[in-house]
Amino acid sequence: MPVIHVLNGPNLNLLGTREPVTYGTTTLADIEARLQANASGRGAQIRFRQSNHEGDLVTWIQEAGAAGEPVILNAGAYTHTSIAIHDAIRGAGTQVVEVHLSNVHAREAFRHHSHISSVAAGVIVGFGALSYDLALEAILSGDFGKKS
Ligand code: CA2
């Protein structure tokens, strides 16, 4: 069964508990459950993880790359700061879909730049928890953004 990694960065463990106006009321566990159900109905399996530490995300991207498995990545604030995550995606050579709950382009200027977008297969922003489902749909429905 194909495995799709869903990796979540700092503070996303708080989802659904604070700042509902910006991030909604859905928890990360809710997102995981919905993705698992959706994926298993399509013959795929989700490996869902969250960390507040940049190095964990780098390691998990490397692991997905070594296994040749696709990644849905919400790197949280590291999106805007992390060259290490940019390099990991580049080196992993696997399909990475960048997702964001909020429309980062309608927010503060420091959220407008992503170090991930230039090495991602695609970017989905602003649809709340649905951003993850749209990313899953994109991965399951095509072979875009795969590297040889
Ligand atoms: O919109 C997104 O998905 C973000 O990746 C979320 C990050 C933010 O730094 C990015 O610019 C955009 C922040 C995640 C923090 O999540 C919280 C959830 C509830 C309460 C506090 C933080």
| Model pTM score | 0.96
SS3 string of 10-72?
CCHHHCCCCCHHHHCCCCHHHHHHHHHHHHHCCCCEEEEEECCCHHHHHHHHHHHHHHCCCEE
Residue ranges of the chain whose pLDDT lies below 50: 148
> How far is it, in rounded angstroms, from Cα 4 to Cα 136?
8
Give the nearest ligand 1 atom to 80 CA. Answer: 11
Instruction: Tell me what percent of the residues of the chain surpass a pLDDT of 70.
Output: 96
The CATH code of the domain at 3-140 is 3.40.50.9100
Q: What is the pLDDT of residue 74?
A: 98
pLDDT digits (tens, 9 = 90+) for 106-117: 999 999 999 999
50 lines ligand 1 (CB under 6 A): no
Catalytic site includes residue 80: no
Catalytic position from the list 5, 86, 100, 115: 100
